Amino acid sequence: MINKNMIKKGTNRSKIRELFEYGKILKAKAGEDSVFDFTLGNPSSKTPDIIKETLTSLLNENGVHLYTSAQGDESARNAICNTIKNRYGFKYNKNLIYITCGAASGLAITLKALISKKSDCVLTFKPYFPEYAVFSENAGAKFKAVNCNKNDFSIDFSDLKRKLTKNVQVVIINTPNNPSGAVYSEKDVIKLSKILNEKQQEFGHPIYLLTDEPYREIVFDGINIPFIPKYYDNTIVCYSYSKSLSISGERIGYIAVSEKCENYQDVYSACLGAGRCMGYVCAPSLFQKLIAKCSDELCDMSVYKDNRDILVENLTKFGFTCPSPKGAFYLFMKCPIDDANEFSDVAKELGLLLVPSNTFGLEGYVRIATCVEKRVVLNSLPAFEKLAKTYNLKG
């Protein structure tokens, strides 16, 4: 008998993909320039020249297309440890780094490694990346999300205390956040660590904090983003090069387990075991070799700030409520009506493809991905103005 749950997962696309596919059809019908697709988080910053040059030269080396060890090429794991040490002053052991196919597989693997009972629970913070629910359920856990403060999408700590029960084995944090662009402050990270420490004492078992880091380097206005393993010992990092090097289709990232983590060797071995069970033989070999040489590189993120500034300024002028996010490449705009689906449908009629926020566990907003060409942002402004007029908004 074919697994009905998997049929459902494979048939019902996420709302993001559904809108993206609709955009492709609309573009073919109405022309590229009349569709403003703000759906997908596909980086628009150019892949750095050094990445292309290094890949070209790697192609002449022997063995770059062959299997590596399951945990990844040693020189790449070494380079990852050095980059983290230089950037954040935090020491990792290369034997506790597991190179993965992006953050998505890192998350799915780590959850599979840490969940062992049906009653186990994974907790995250609203609004959240919808695949967290899919990966948690696949690992056999229940999934719950903590409310946020609506003014800045920071953590609602009283709701956290309510929902942080004995069954919670893993908490997932994502800062800068997709979809809100919020960056959790150092004060809040300290507060979160204190609560987690108190609760693991009380419950008598570790609570692992999984930090999902595809947007780590995309921060604006000179703010500093706390490196979470420095604040909470039981942190496991799932990092991705998708956005930092604009190579999202190449599938490369890593899991980093620190020696400060409780049962770190077992946690790491369980991740390798979960990866093995899920058929991840090794991450793409060519890109592991690339990371060995280029783990310190970053792409130019200025286009994301430019797009953010143009949109926030104009959307506010048109009468929308749209806070300026401190990181990632998304805006989270308040809908002028309660029903985000209905608002997204009305926007769609004007060629604006905006993702309704119930996809991210929160009602009443739309996500606008700003990782598009500046030309698309500028050309979309008259459509946004029309949308505002539809609801009689005034700036």
Binding site for ligand PLP (CB under 6 A): 41, 102-104, 129, 174, 178, 212, 214, 240, 242, 248, 253
Q: Of the two residues 199 and 326, which places its CB atom closer to ligand PLP in the complex?
A: 326
Q: Which DSSP state fits 212?
A: E
- Residue 384 Cβ, how far from ligand PLP at the closest point, in Å? 23
Within 13 Å and on the Cβ side, how many CA atoms surround 6?
4
CA distances from 380 to 178, 303, 337, 366, 372 (A): 22, 16, 21, 16, 11
Instruction: Please report how close the Cβ of residue 370 comes to ligand PLP at its closest, in angstroms.
Output: 13
Nearer to ligand PLP, 214 or 226 (CB): 214
Structure tokens at 173: 């944090």
Residues 6+ away with beta carbon under 8 Å from 264: 96, 257, 258
CA–CA gap between residue 287 and residue 294 (Å, rounded): 10
**What tokens appear for 23 in the block?**
């955009």
Q: Please, which residue, 169 or 242, has the CB nearer to ligand PLP?
A: 242
The least CB distance from residue 214 to ligand PLP, in Å, is: 5
Nearer to ligand PLP, 232 or 239 (CB): 239
Q: How far apart are CA 270 and CA 114, in angstroms?
A: 8
Ramachandran angles phi, psi of 218, nearest 5° = -90, 85
Nearer to ligand PLP, 155 or 346 (CB): 155
Query: What single-letter DSSP state applies at residue 32?
Result: G
Of 174 and 307, nearer to ligand PLP (C-beta) is 174
CB of 240: closest distance to ligand PLP in angstroms? 3
Name the minimum Å distance from CB 104 to ligand PLP: 3
Instruction: Characterize 9-19 residue by residue with b for buried, 16 or more Cβ atoms within 10 angstroms of its Cβ, and e for exposed.
Output: eeeeeebbeeb
Q: Where are the beta strands (DSSP E) in the chain?
A: 36-37, 97-100, 121-125, 142-146, 148-149, 154-155, 168-173, 208-213, 235-240, 253-257, 330-334, 352-353, 355-356, 365-369
- Name the residue nearer to ligand PLP (CB basis): 243 or 289: 243
| Nearest approach, Cβ of residue 359 and ligand PLP (Å) | 12
For residue 227, the minimal CB distance to ligand PLP (Å) is 17
